[in-house]
Structure 1
């Protein structure tokens, strides 16, 4: 079996590539970094170390690589593949869509009707659907109908913490032992070979929202409070009893929302939250606050991990106090080397919190959460950053 994976970064190598290799796939990475491409081509293997006490290590074999600029080579690889996966970031899907479309077109013009599944393993809702829309722009009209018969874009939810690496070996990667990969099998074609460790479900939305509203929400809450308090790592944040409570309280609020929507067992979800808190505390990882908190505008957008659950919880009459505080903390993220943080702070300085909440979060001024968030922001600004305006 043959898989093409876009992105040879830490998630691509330490999670997706590892599981595909363990499932018997020959994996070809598509990457921009020429040095990494050459190393993968030369060594055709790399190691993945678990951040546990035993430091268990897995060897990933049967791999290859191609430079992302070599569209013709990529198209030939895709035309004969069983599976295409991505881990490049949602914003980069636009840049790889043309190469994927070229491979699909070549496959169809060769009259190859072998099922091809294309799965965007991104930290987003409906990532594969978003990728499909971009790919279709490059598919000739006469091939679109036949494409539907042999090419599918099932959506997925992926979860594994892979922190920034500090390793002399540029291919070796350290990951947490825990992972979850869930795929919507309702949109898959017959004959798809199962990937080891993947859970296949008919309804993906509960798993997507559980991950987004618990793991992603809790992770970024820890980052933004940690930034305000001067901590460098998420592990340090979780070692602070006050901040740990804030993180868990935010996850409890999203938990009430999830239980209301999906009728989950209270004790079972409580244990899930506790398990996520232990993951954030893993002493074997160094998860940098700046890495987890980066791109605050994306994380504060209407359909992401903070505003989306707050809006849904408010609509159902559930508590949002801790989510609102976390949103205000995110608005305080002013790291100079993060372009989105700089843009956010300039917008706050020039237009004020009211316009930022309206324009960037999509919350209208008449909405009850709008005033609550702006009030909490100014309260937090007074507490943490009395001179924040002088930085910009």
Structure 2
């Protein structure tokens, strides 16, 4: 049986990547800093996943265990594993790089020269390539040469809604996920044999799929959240059931979609069907996803390479319409959350500097450009 080390035993790790690996008869060792969660996984060596679409069913995930991310045992695991995956969030990738580097050094020191592939399954563009740069900072020249020959850092695009849920039946390991999932990997970056994992799709044009997901699912999701917050809706489903919000979100995804059609030659009708599918997913009655959770970390979401500004820049590049995207960005600037340090920072900066300077500071937009002016105008109307 093949082995994998998966960083991140949270809901996404257990409900998405960990499940796909285990379902393909891969023995998964989760690495996490949550001691009680690690202990429970190590003890039970299985957990339930509630998969919800038109109906709800329970799948049992087997072949799993867990180690603490700070444990020396994790280094030993990396030294002998066949695959490393992550679902820790973009901000944590840099923190696990040194551990991965230590595992690689151990791997080379014991003479394990079999290929290893590392796949960062994060909501970011070229996450594995970024992780490679951070890992290499902790490797000497000889170890880097070994890694160049033996270690593939495989970029991927991932898509599955896994909202936080209350523990079902007092079971802290059970997780709820939607039936839809998409895991697309760059088949040009593997070292050695590409693993056969059901649900992992291979492509030689990954960036198109990364941007399709970012510009559609991620863009639509956060605009739904920010507009929903403004109108007092609690969940994504409540917000997308509001006809006015649904119309704005649909238009925003059509605007970002036009960029994809222009840039990558996507079939227009097929992409519109993809947008319709995403709107159905937002309205899934089995998924209770708070708008406050989806809207969190507005600084990251307002970054020039993220889900709001990157598609806006695309509309500027191709001279296409962007009214709904502009409204979504204005709504993001309105987002308040006393438990979110990024939301607090944005509101503090806004209060002192105004809208256009805030956009320039966090998003890199030209404060004298017409898009910044449009966002400022709509901001004051919302």
5+ unaligned residues in a row in structure 2: which ranges?
none
Other structure's SS at 2:42 match: helix
Select which of 223, 238, 241 maps to 1:239: 241
- Tell whether the 8 Å contact from 1:115 to 1:192 is kept in structure 2 after alignment: no
What's the CA shift string for 1:198-236, capped at 9, x where partnerless? 110011011000000000000001000000000000000
- Tell whether the 8 Å contact from 1:181 to 1:197 is kept in structure 2 after alignment: yes
What's the CA shift string for 1:166-207, capped at 9, x where partnerless? 122110001000000000011112213221111100110110
2:183 aligned partner:
181
Q: Distance in 1 between matches of 2:373 and 2:121?
A: 36
Cα shift at 1:265: 1.5
1:63 aligned partner:
64
Q: Select between 139-148 and 251-260 the one with higher mean Cα deviation.
A: 139-148
Does residue 364 (structure 1) correspond to residue 370 (structure 2)? The answer is: no
1:390 aligned partner:
none
Q: Distance in 1 between matches of 2:30 and 2:188?
A: 27
Q: Select between 355-364 and 153-162 the one with higher mean Cα deviation.
A: 355-364
Q: Distance in 1 between matches of 2:328 and 2:190?
A: 38
Q: Select between 244-253 and 186-195 the one with higher mean Cα deviation.
A: 186-195
5+ unaligned residues in a row in structure 1: which ranges?
381-392
Q: How does 1:172-251 map to 2 (within 5 A)?
A: 172-251=174-253
Q: Distance in 1 between matches of 2:242 and 2:78?
A: 48
What's the CA shift string for 1:35-57, capped at 9, x where partnerless? 00100010000010112354211
Cα shift at 1:375: 2.0
Q: Distance in 2 between matches of 1:177 and 1:61?
A: 19
Other structure's SS at 1:4 match: strand
Cα shift at 1:378: 2.2
Q: How does 1:3-82 map to 2 (within 5 A)?
A: 3-70=4-71, 72-82=72-82
Q: Paired residues, what number?
A: 379
Does residue 325 (structure 1) correspond to residue 321 (structure 2)? The answer is: no
Q: Distance in 1 between matches of 2:256 and 2:357?
A: 26
1:132 aligned partner:
132
Other structure's SS at 2:125 match: coil
- Tell whether the 8 Å contact from 1:357 to 1:374 is kept in structure 2 after alignment: no
Other structure's SS at 1:59 match: strand
Q: Distance in 2 between matches of 1:225 and 1:288?
A: 13
Alignment RMSD (CA, Å): 1.0
Q: Distance in 2 between matches of 1:98 and 1:35?
A: 24
Cα shift at 1:367: 2.8
- Tell whether the 8 Å contact from 1:4 to 1:81 is kept in structure 2 after alignment: yes
- Tell whether the 8 Å contact from 1:4 to 1:85 is kept in structure 2 after alignment: yes
2:339 aligned partner:
337
Q: Distance in 2 between matches of 1:370 and 1:326?
A: 13
Q: 1:312 to 1:52 in 2, by over 3 A?
A: closer
Q: TM-score, normalised by structure 2?
A: 0.98
Q: Distance in 2 between matches of 1:149 and 1:158?
A: 26
Select which of 267, 280, 283 maps to 1:281: 283
1:111 aligned partner:
111
Q: How does 1:351-390 map to 2 (within 5 A)?
A: 351-380=353-382
Cα shift at 1:164: 1.1
